[in-house]
Amino acid sequence: MKLSHALGRSGVRALVTLLLLWTALGGAGCGGPETQEESDSVKVGVLHSLSGTMAISEIPVKNAELLAIEEINAAGGVLGKQIVAVVEDGASEPAMFAQKAQKLIQRDEVVTVFGGWTSASRKAMLPVFEAEGNLLWYPVQFEGNECSPNIFYLGAQPNQQILPALEWAFEKGYKNIYLLGSDYVFPRTANLILRKHIEDRGGTVAGEDYVPLGGTNFSSVINKIKAAQPQIIFNTLNGDSNVAFFKQFQSEGFTAESLPVISFSIAEQEAKAMGAELVAGHYAAWNYFQTLDFEANSKFIRAYQAKYGADEVLDDPMEAAYIAVYLWKMAVEKAQSFDPEAVRKAAWGLTMSAPEGEVRIDNNQSLYKATRVGRLRDDGQFDVVWGSDDPIKPEPYDALVFPGKTCNWE
């Protein structure tokens, strides 16, 4: 029986219409939008504060990530694909970070995100990444007491920054310590850990004060510091508040010699923006300083200054953000996939000769890192005055403050 007899004229016309439509769409299963697996590019998110109080610190971090992406693309990309960065502004607001993270994952379909600075922004993003099954590469030191399978922590844990700094302070004879910070989760938790360890070692907490993030009035705090007469201040202020504090601190007659301050969020970028003369002679604890004498660091400095200007300075969060992109690339290539879960597992144990020295990703998704204390010079750079001999294993949960809590994803 002929097909035309079986279907009738109307049936044949309908069949021809369907065949023409099928052909126009490129065949069955081929008519949808091109996926990233089929494309010659792959999208990643870059999410930082490009406005607001944290922009002073986060714009250079964004720049370092874009530099790494540019270098990787120039060398052939990752798995043969060019990386396309989708840049968003968290605007120094935790809720905005969460909204932009969701937008990057759902609408832009990025395979991973590099971003954040404050712990408040990270904690706002955490449930988004866990719900969406995506990965955040977070580049800044933090307070610990957190271990998410959807976050890689590239900055220092407390046992890799604040506690080594305390060891240095005790070695110098500074045992009467004033704790000053911005009023959010990182300074609060960091100072909880510091207080426990100061008292456990036989030291004294001379005082503890917090100001709102972005706060600029320190008259009351400075009066309390005068009355308490500490030997050193441990400073966990963030953003623009540091400028206001050090200006008022200096105007009250304090110097680095009369009352040293060791900071945990002031690095080369902040010193440059504040004016090095305002903080010269004071200290900071980091894993990376621009003055480190490693070939990988010299290469990093040359590349960054060639792209952004010969007078630009580099700092610890920038370096951590820069190597985050390379470690993600290494994990993708090891996994032979952009799938977040495959990349996550492939990342465990990866090592890199980074600008800060040798680093390794632990199976708790933090890095083995060395710790240094630097003294700020008049030119805005740091002289390293103390350091750990070897990279320190990251411990998300301080045993004295959070006994019994551990993190191991393997």
Secondary structure (H, E, C), 307-320: HHCCCCCCCHHHHH
Q: List, for residues 81-95, the tens digit of each pLDDT value.
A: 999 999 999 999 999
Give the integer Cα–Cα distance in Å for 318 and 301: 11
pLDDT at 240: 86
Yes or no: say if 44 and 85 are a contact pair by the CB < 8 Å rule: yes
- For strands 41-48 and 113-115, give the pairing: parallel
Give the integer Cα–Cα distance in Å for 68 and 51: 22
Query: CATH topology of 41-156+292-369 equal to that of 159-286?
Result: yes
Which 8-state DSSP code applies to residue 109? -
* CATH superfamily, region 41-156+292-369: Response regulator (3.40.50.2300)
Q: Which residues of the chain have pLDDT under 70?
A: 1-38
Residues in the chain: 410
CATH of 159-286, one of 3.40.50.300, 3.100.10.10, 3.40.50.2300, 3.10.310.30: 3.40.50.2300
pLDDT at 239: 84
Give this prediction's pTM.
0.88
Could you tell me the CA-to-CA distances from 27 to 17, 21, 32, 35, 42 in Å, in that order?
A: 14, 9, 10, 16, 25
pLDDT at 36: 57
Closest CA to 126 of 135, 109, 117: 135
Q: How would you label 306-316 residue by residue, b for 16+ Cβ within 10 Å and e otherwise?
A: eeeeeebbbbb
Q: Which two tokens stand for residue 140?
A: 């800044």
Q: Which two tokens stand for residue 404?
A: 């019994």
Give the integer Cα–Cα distance in Å for 151 and 241: 28
Q: Quote the strand ranges of 132-260, DSSP E.
A: 136-138, 151-153, 176-182, 204-211, 232-236
pLDDT at 37: 60
Domain spans of the chain, in order of start: 41-156+292-369, 159-286
pLDDT at 1: 44
Give the integer Cα–Cα distance in Å for 331 and 344: 7
Give the integer Cα–Cα distance in Å for 240 and 217: 11
Give the integer Cα–Cα distance in Å for 307 and 309: 6
Give the integer Cα–Cα distance in Å for 209 and 132: 38
pLDDT at 389: 82
Q: How far is CA 92 from the centre of its chain?
A: 14
